[in-house]
């Protein structure tokens, strides 16, 4: 028997999708979240004014009232006497005893009062200096050590036991999802044209992966079951908790997969359809279903069975790796069976108000509809954020969203987060090209810096393309010959520009000769022209730069 070399296929390009990638449609970056929470906890400012400054939507009085009520209910230190009025306004169908019970449940689960006091002792005397990571570090360090600490009060110091910090952390997690939910609601009403720019990017990615499938197939029937055919040549690593890019891709794939005349491949010819492998065989709550019934995204086991030429199926399939290594706001970890269910809205369409999961107040659960009697009963008892686990039927709430925070004290993650992170690490070991989309590789993000540095130092070449919004546009890509002069100009004309840190971080890891930069922002980097649609050529050059991939195409033997 001849022994052959075996080198597993993994995506050649890895796209890091950071918070800056959706900043143009108004989604808050980490820094903007930091500023929002700092403003929300300012001393000697009325709650209404704090909320106005924090959420930033003066023309949305309904949102303002709802967030004020939420913080009243959760024990804001300046307005505790108004909590009963807020709970009555938000839950008018509950009787007085039920309202008081729900008030205590919410305060215990989401301890805003404690979070407010902890924010006061964090480093940073201005909203620009305050860092979210410092807040997470304080919470996670003491929760991990099971130790409390003292915080100053008006007269003396008071002790916060570690169990109250669990409620404070739940509050921070829930408020983070709230901020992104409001940002998305604003985007779909006020920035639809920009969202369509992103949709056109997803559309080009679909066309590219269909073309690529035919390139890799080459009329060899057995090829359909091999990774060299069915695995996309790019993976997406979402550094964000929001599912916006995945939602755009879901919609584009759904439209084409169920269209009247999808492309066909193989013998006999079968429709070629695109799906995603999420790095874990999770259940997604069926988007247009009438019950909490689960729908499973594809994984490689399913793909190999679907593409088996010995079996006539309704389709042939290609899949792309899409990772959420930090979790997602649409995830719910069941407190009973421990399984993961993903919520992706209740209806198809780019501008659906239901994309983000329901929150603890009905007025902040934009368009969410219950899908079972159990969910209705939970809602009737004031649990407006109730989503039923699709596996065992247990009710989950916003506190059960498993988010990995920017903290130096990571603790233990759920098994599915570990599984996703392991799959992602192996994928990065094989990648040839890293694309940083609105992600700056900050110095405190030691995990990804270490992963990419190790990959760079293993010998086989790797190239990095970094995209950000610079104060001075680059008008396309700049490489090693232009980097120094561009940096000098930035440091002179815009010394506070965050793109300086991005360039510096990338050069530290990859070197000038292995890097290029685009300061035209997102979606600018892939648009044909300002206000236009995504360009096939620009997307190819973004993902498969010609110096690394001749002809902007990936070749697989």
Domain membership of residue 297 (yes or no) is: no
Domain membership of residue 545 (yes or no) is: no
| Ordered alpha helix ranges (H), 431-479 | 446-456
Instruction: Give the three-state DSSP class for 130.
Output: coil
- Does residue 81 carry a pLDDT above 70? no
Domain membership of residue 201 (yes or no) is: no
pLDDT tens, residue by residue, 355-392: 999 999 999 999 899 999 999 999 999 999 999 999 99
Q: What is the pLDDT of residue 296?
A: 84
pLDDT tens, residue by residue, 106-115: 999 999 999 9
DSSP code of residue 534: B
- Dihedral in degrees, nearest 10, Cα atoms 171, 174, 177, 183: -70
Domain membership of residue 304 (yes or no) is: no
Domain membership of residue 186 (yes or no) is: yes
Cα–Cα distance for residue pair 248/243, rounded to 1 Å: 9
- Count: domains in the chain: 1
Segment 3-24 shows an average pLDDT of 93
DSSP one-letter string for 295-334? EPPP-HHHHHHHT-TTS--S-EEEEEEEE-TT--TTEEE-
Domain membership of residue 115 (yes or no) is: yes
Q: Which of 138, 161, 140 is nearest to 150 (CA)?
A: 161
pLDDT tens, residue by residue, 295-354: 888 888 889 889 988 877 889 999 999 999 999 999 999 999 999 999 999 999 988 999
Q: What is the pLDDT of residue 329?
A: 96
DSSP one-letter string for 499-530? HHHHHHHHHHHH-GGGEEEE-B-TTGGGBSST
User: What DSSP element (H or E) covers 466?
Assistant: strand 463-467
Cα–Cα distance for residue pair 453/207, rounded to 1 Å: 33
Q: What is the pLDDT of residue 155?
A: 61
Domain range for 113 is: 27-150+158-190
Q: Starting from the edge strand earliest in sequence, which strands make up the sheet with 294-295, in order?
A: 294-295, 283-285, 340-342, 331-333
Cα–Cα distance for residue pair 246/202, rounded to 1 Å: 9
Q: Which of 232, 244, 236 is nearest to 208 (CA)?
A: 232
**547, exposed or middle or buried, with CB in 10 Å at 0-12, 13-18, 19+?**
exposed
Domain membership of residue 139 (yes or no) is: yes
């Amino acid at each position: 028997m001849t022994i052959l070399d075996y080198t597993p296929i993994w995506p050649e390009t890895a796209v890091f999708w950071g918070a800056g990638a959706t900043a143009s449609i108004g989604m808050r970056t980490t820094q903007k979240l930091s500023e929002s929470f700092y403003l929300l906890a300012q001393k000697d400012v009325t709650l209404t004014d704090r909320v106005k400054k924090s959420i930033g939507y003066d023309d949305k009085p309904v949102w303002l009232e709802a967030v004020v009520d939420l913080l009243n209910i959760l024990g804001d230190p300046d307005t505790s006497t108004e909590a009963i009025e807020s709970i009555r306004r938000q839950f008018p169908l509950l009787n007085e005893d039920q309202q008081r019970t729900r008030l205590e449940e919410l305060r215990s689960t989401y301890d805003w009062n404690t979070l407010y006091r902890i924010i006061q002792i964090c480093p940073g005397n201005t909203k620009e200096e305050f860092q979210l990571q410092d807040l997470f570090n304080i919470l996670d360090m003491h929760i991990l050590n099971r130790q409390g600490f003292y915080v100053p009060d008006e007269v003396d110091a008071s002790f916060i036991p570690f169990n109250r910090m669990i409620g404070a952390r739940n509050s921070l997690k829930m408020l983070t999802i709230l901020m992104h939910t409001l940002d998305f609601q604003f985007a779909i009403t006020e920035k639809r044209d920009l969202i369509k720019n992103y949709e056109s990017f997803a559309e080009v990615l679909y066309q590219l992966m269909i073309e690529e499938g035919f390139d890799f197939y080459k009329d060899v029937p057995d090829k359909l079951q091999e990774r060299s055919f069915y695995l996309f040549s790019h993976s997406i690593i979402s550094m964000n908790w929001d599912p916006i890019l995945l939602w755009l891709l879901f919609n584009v794939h759904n439209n084409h997969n169920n269209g009247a005349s999808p492309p066909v491949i193989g013998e006999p010819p079968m429709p070629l359809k695109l799906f995603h492998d999420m790095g874990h065989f999770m259940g997604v709550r069926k988007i247009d279903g009438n019950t909490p019934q689960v729908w499973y995204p594809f994984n490689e086991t399913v793909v190999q069975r679907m593409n088996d030429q010995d079996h006539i199926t309704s389709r042939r399939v290609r899949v792309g790796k899409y990772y959420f290594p930090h979790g997602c706001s649409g995830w719910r970890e069941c407190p009973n069976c421990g399984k993961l269910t993903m919520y992706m809205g209740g209806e198809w369409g780019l501008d659906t108000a239901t994309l983000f999961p329901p929150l603890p107040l009905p007025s902040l659960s934009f368009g969410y509809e219950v899908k079972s009697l159990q969910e209705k009963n939970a809602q009737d008892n004031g649990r407006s954020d109730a989503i039923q686990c699709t596996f065992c039927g247990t009710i989950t709430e916003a506190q059960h969203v498993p988010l990995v925070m920017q903290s130096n004290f990571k603790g233990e993650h759920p098994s599915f987060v570990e599984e996703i992170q392991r799959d992602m690490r192996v994928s990065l070991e094989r990648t040839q090209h890293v694309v940083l989309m609105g992600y700056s590789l900050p110095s405190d993000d030691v995990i990804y810096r270490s992963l990419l540095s190790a990959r760079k130092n293993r010998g086989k070449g790797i190239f990095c393309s970094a995209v950000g919004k610079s104060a001075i546009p680059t008008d396309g890509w700049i490489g090693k010959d232009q980097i120094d002069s561009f940096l000098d100009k930035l440091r002179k004309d815009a010394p506070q520009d965050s793109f300086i840190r991005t360039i510096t971080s990338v050069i530290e890891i990859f070197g000038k000769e292995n890097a290029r930069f685009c300061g035209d922002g997102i979606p600018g980097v892939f648009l044909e022209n300002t206000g236009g649609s995504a360009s096939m050529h620009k997307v190819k050059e973004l993902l498969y730069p010609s110096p690394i991939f001749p002809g902007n195409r990936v070749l697989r033997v």
